[in-house]
Structure 1
Amino acid sequence: MKKYFIPALGALSLLASCSSFLDKQPLDTITPNNFFQNANDAEASLTAAYDGLQQNGTYGQDLMTMGEMPSDNCTSTNGDVNALEKLIWNSTTSQVGNVYRSNYLGVNRANIVIKYVPTVAMDTARRSQIVGEAKFLRALYYFNLARAYGGVPLRLAPSESGAPSDVNTAPSTQDQVYDQVVTDLQQAIKQMANSQNNRASKNSARALLARVQLTRRNWAAALAAANSVTGASLAPTFNGLFPAKNQASSTESLFEVQFFGNADGGNLYPDEILPSPLATYSYPKFNIPTNELIAFADTSLANGDRRWINNGIVTSSTGARVGRSYVSIIIGSGANNNDQGPFVYKWRSIGNGFNSADNTYVLRYAETLLTAAEASNELSGPTATALVPLNQVRQRAGLAALTAASPQAASKETLRAEIDRQRRLELAFEGERWWDLVRYARHTLADPTATHPVTAFTVMQQMKVAPDQHLLIFPIPQSELNSNPLIKQNPGY
């Protein structure tokens, strides 16, 4: 993917981010006015906006790590993730800066598409779709920023000159950013294609809208958005979902980030979480599954949860034994201590020099079903409207369907706990656990009667960190504070 459009990016300064992280200046030979001449130019600019999803600070590494390492799902002895592991991050923590920078880079690329593609002489239907896809991408990047950092600068036009007056913007509130995300997604749904290979579609925007509204505790809107996802279904088996690879036979994948597996378009994340010899070499890995999570999942059940049961021996391409698969995890049995014990097994690429061809799921239909169940339960308690989508996820995992007489459905509180449980077991390691724990904490803060078994505050106590609301968002990176006088640090940092 990257090799296709990088020359155009340099010429148009599309590598400049919407914040003050600007490291490219526009060239005199090519400008937006003389670049956007035809359909190929429009498609290239959109490809650049998609490429922002591959960056180290987005789905190539740090966003996934930020969404799991602080949570009860994962641990690690690797010093690169120590701050996330121990909940002691600050404004100079590498992931804090990388996630901010990479998502704003994506915002700026999407803004360029939205500004210039409408002027291109080309097929009008495809032109509208391109702009719709760019709005979806801008919404995704801004959603990542808002839930990670709270109120951030909201820029809806590209930063093209690099001048302080062009890039220094005062922050909007978190709610204002979320409002824009909702607006972008609503517009994207009208403009995007019903379906298309390797790209976002209407269902992608609907599923993201459901996630956004769930995060905001807009239960009715979350339920409506989840129910608006049409034509999707769960894959026949959970194990068959991994690794993500745009399987034509599955309508569960609503959006995933593409990786080609070459030096300019590979996914380095699998090498950071898999044991050797699946990984390129042996070292302390990121996102090691916690013993508590493994016990919570109960991998010992021979006829139990198909997402976590014994699934046989795993060998490398050379025939060397790597360990035993338990579907979501692999128990490594290598000679080196670094390759022994549990590891994430939702990315399964054979070592390729940190250039895996495994894709990364952003949105799956299983999550959308769980969103519908949660929103319905918060609105009306354990009715059939909540149980039906929840049971689809449970039954695919080999678990019995719940009925109104089930203990889990005795009350809104008991069903809430069951939905929390299924989200954790279904979506483990896919970058959502910490954000779920944060929104559970915010839910109880907003309504003390709405309790959850585990929240971000629970994890803070477990890590012997004083529970504090300031840890529910990350600090603004110091480099941004140094260069943008209009922005202030988040409280508590």
Structure 2
Amino acid sequence: MKKLTTSLFALALLASCNVLDKDPLPSISPANFFQTADDAEAALTAAYDGIQGTGAYAQDLNVVGEMPSDNCSSTNGDVAAMDKIAWTSTTSQVNNVYREAYIAINRANAVLKYVPALQMSEARKNSILGEARFLRALSYFNLVKLYGGVPLRLEPTESGDPAVLNLPRATVEQVYQQVVADLTEADGLTPAANATRASKGSVNALLARVQLTQRNWAAAQAAANQVITGGGGYALAGSFKSLFPADNKAESVFEVQYAGNPDGGTFNILPDLLLPSPPATYSFPKFNIPTAELLAYADTVNDLRWKFQGVTNAGRDHGSYVDGGRGTGNDDGPFVYKWPSNPNGFNSPDNYYVLRYADVLLMYAEATNELTGPSGEALAKLNLVRQRAGLPALTSTSSQAATKQTLRNEIDRQRRLELAFEGERWFDLLRYARHNQAEPGAHAVTALDLIAQQRQGQRDVNYLLFPIPLGELNTNTQIQQNPGY
């Protein structure tokens, strides 16, 4: 199925969420709604819709994954607060990501509670339950990376009772345990591969990312290897440029799909926010402008992902950065083109990559290097990504692979250049900071270095987390704010 369309009734029924929103439930109860296999499908589609919104992958998860990092800058409103690492409990992205993650969780919880009792194909029922567990795990993973321990809600919110609505924060370890438990369960329920729905490939790719974040190297390597050897048919695209826009390609492990607005479906606003006009339809201070440091970093090698290949400004080569030079203010300067066009303005139907096979290969290389140091296994996976970018294969005698540390640096380099502007850089820098706390000096640049740059030289560890949104603090009497806010 290319584009999900959502039952408006299912959305209304399942939208109730304790976070920042305590409106009465509709008069028709979820128990009355879940009667048939079609109802199960509609409810699952509503759960997918929970990750499609502007507080999720259509805008804010990309912004918070890039703007605080060394990749990007912007002067645009709250986006500039992300850039300057000056967010507060009322910054829009801080609020929106938290709120929409719990909307997705609540909808997944409804599926997990009511679908098991329905009379329908057992195979499809199991797949629906596995997909719901993946969506819940993905949402909790995004929350724990950004906010630390958060309330664990494993049942749908169907009551206005304060005892139901007001839950204390679970620990970080408890949240990660739930994420791993959901993914482990989903692995046995989902099909082998499906880029736009949860599958064994996306479950294990996400599990690899979760384990890498926790520095569980052997578990991360094993999960990545499941994607590589599990028969999902994943392969690198022949050229980097052909990857964009995302549209169910062989390299896609999981992407969030959009229908565009004309048919009333979901839509992706990122192209208009990240591209100059044209091809964007509006001119304003854009999001995610490449930093001079990133461009200089990319220019140190003859990298096909970033090399300007002679396309004029009118052509706008989406596989490269280009110098704008058009003198039009908001649209002047370099931009990264991971959308080659911008159909429908803010209502783009372009999908959004969450997990790509290149990322899986790099995660496998990183976990293997941490386990055994430079090895043929690590280099083989890394070289697939390097050679697609036009870079020579590394060998055990290459300076980049001489030691565990030099190979760490090279894997980080490839992650940065390969995944730039796909919403992962800040999360990499966050986990590097935590790695350095355990092993000082393991990574040359971490989130703490950028925090110090933006906050008068203070390496303030409090900014490794977002604050809990003020609205949640005002409505949940059992929750406490993160330190420093």
Q: Same fold (TM over 0.5)?
A: yes
Number of aligned residue pairs: give it. 476
Q: Show CA shifts across 1:204-229 (max 9, x none).
A: 00000000000000000000000011
Letter in 2 for 1:252: E
Partner residue in 1 for 2:25: 26
Matched, 1:439 2:431: yes
State which of 345, 348, 357 in structure 1 corresponds to 2:340: 348
For the residues of structure 2 that align with 1:227 and 1:127, how far apart are their CA atoms?
27
Contact 2:430–2:447 under 8 Å retained in 1: yes
For the residues of structure 2 that align with 1:220 and 1:391, how far apart are their CA atoms?
21
Letter in 2 for 1:107: I
Q: Show CA shifts across 1:453-486 (max 9, x none).
A: 2111221233244111111111000100011011
Matched, 1:291 2:282: no
Label 1:420 to 1:176 Cα distance change in 2 as closer, same or farther (>3 A): same
Partner residue in 1 for 2:242: 240
For the residues of structure 2 that align with 1:333 and 1:110, how far apart are their CA atoms?
47
Q: Which runs of 5+ in 2 are unaligned?
A: none
Partner residue in 2 for 1:272: 273
For the residues of structure 1 that align with 2:245 and 2:351, how far apart are their CA atoms?
7
Secondary structure of 1:362's counterpart equals strand
Contact 1:128–1:192 under 8 Å retained in 2: yes
Secondary structure of 1:88's counterpart equals coil
Letter in 2 for 1:183: A
State which of 96, 99, 102 in structure 2 corresponds to 1:101: 99
Q: Which runs of 5+ in 1 are unaligned?
A: 315-320
State which of 45, 49, 54 in structure 2 corresponds to 1:56: 54
Alpha-carbon distance, 1:352 to partner = 1.6
Q: After the TM superposition, which segments of 4 or more aligned residues of structure 1 sit over 6 Å from their partners? A: none
For the residues of structure 2 that align with 1:255 and 1:391, how far apart are their CA atoms?
23
Secondary structure of 2:253's counterpart equals strand
Letter in 1 for 2:275: L
For the residues of structure 1 that align with 2:163 and 2:8, how far apart are their CA atoms?
26
Contact 1:236–1:396 under 8 Å retained in 2: yes
Partner residue in 1 for 2:221: 223
Label 1:3 to 1:193 Cα distance change in 2 as closer, same or farther (>3 A): closer
Alpha-carbon distance, 1:232 to partner = 1.7
Partner residue in 2 for 1:212: 210
Q: Show CA shifts across 1:148-197 (max 9, x none).
A: 00000001111112332222111101111011000000100100011236
Moved more, 157-166 or 406-415: 157-166
Alpha-carbon distance, 1:322 to partner = 3.7
Contact 1:322–1:334 under 8 Å retained in 2: no
Partner residue in 1 for 2:383: 391
Letter in 1 for 2:8: I
Alpha-carbon distance, 1:9 to partner = 2.2
Secondary structure of 2:445's counterpart equals coil
Secondary structure of 2:51's counterpart equals helix
Contact 2:374–2:396 under 8 Å retained in 1: yes
For the residues of structure 2 that align with 1:184 and 1:403, how far apart are their CA atoms?
39
Alpha-carbon distance, 1:3 to partner = 5.3
Letter in 2 for 1:243: P
Query: 1:323-362, aligned counterparts within 5 Å?
Result: 324-325=316-317, 327-362=319-354
For the residues of structure 2 that align with 1:331 and 1:361, how far apart are their CA atoms?
25
* TM-score, reference length from structure 2: 0.95
Letter in 2 for 1:463: Q
For the residues of structure 2 that align with 1:2 and 1:227, how far apart are their CA atoms?
30
Query: 1:138-177, aligned counterparts within 5 Å?
Result: 138-177=136-175
State which of 72, 75, 78 in structure 2 corresponds to 1:77: 75
Q: Show CA shifts across 1:373-412 (max 9, x none).
A: 1111111100112111111111111111100000011111
For the residues of structure 1 that align with 2:44 and 2:200, how far apart are their CA atoms?
16
Alpha-carbon distance, 1:80 to partner = 3.0
Alpha-carbon distance, 1:332 to partner = 3.1
Label 1:123 to 1:322 Cα distance change in 2 as closer, same or farther (>3 A): same
State which of 357, 364, 383 in structure 2 corresponds to 1:372: 364
Alpha-carbon distance, 1:23 to partner = 5.1
Partner residue in 2 for 1:480: 472
For the residues of structure 1 that align with 2:199 and 2:60, how far apart are their CA atoms?
25
Letter in 1 for 2:70: D
Matched, 1:112 2:114: no
Partner residue in 2 for 1:317: none
For the residues of structure 2 that align with 1:358 and 1:326, how far apart are their CA atoms?
14
* TM-score, reference length from structure 1: 0.93
Partner residue in 1 for 2:443: 452
Contact 2:256–2:353 under 8 Å retained in 1: yes
Moved more, 414-423 or 255-264: 255-264
Q: Show CA shifts across 1:252-275 (max 9, x none).
A: 100000011115421011111111
For the residues of structure 2 that align with 1:197 and 1:79, how far apart are their CA atoms?
34
Contact 1:440–1:456 under 8 Å retained in 2: yes
For the residues of structure 2 that align with 1:457 and 1:8, how far apart are their CA atoms?
43
Q: What CA RMSD, in Å, does the superposition of the two structures yield over aligned residues?
A: 1.6
Partner residue in 2 for 1:425: 417
For the residues of structure 2 that align with 1:115 and 1:421, how far apart are their CA atoms?
44
Matched, 1:463 2:454: yes
Letter in 2 for 1:279: A
For the residues of structure 2 that align with 1:4 and 1:371, how far apart are their CA atoms?
34
Moved more, 354-363 or 75-84: 75-84
Letter in 1 for 2:299: D
Contact 1:275–1:322 under 8 Å retained in 2: no
Partner residue in 2 for 1:306: 304
Q: Show CA shifts across 1:18-60 (max 9, x none).
A: x4322543222x2222211111000000000000111111101
For the residues of structure 2 that align with 1:15 and 1:107, how far apart are their CA atoms?
10
For the residues of structure 2 that align with 1:311 and 1:126, how far apart are their CA atoms?
47
For the residues of structure 2 that align with 1:198 and 1:361, how far apart are their CA atoms?
10
Q: Show CA shifts across 1:424-445 (max 9, x none).
A: 0001011010010011010010
Secondary structure of 2:177's counterpart equals helix
For the residues of structure 1 that align with 2:201 and 2:41, how far apart are their CA atoms?
21
Contact 1:277–1:351 under 8 Å retained in 2: no
Letter in 2 for 1:110: A
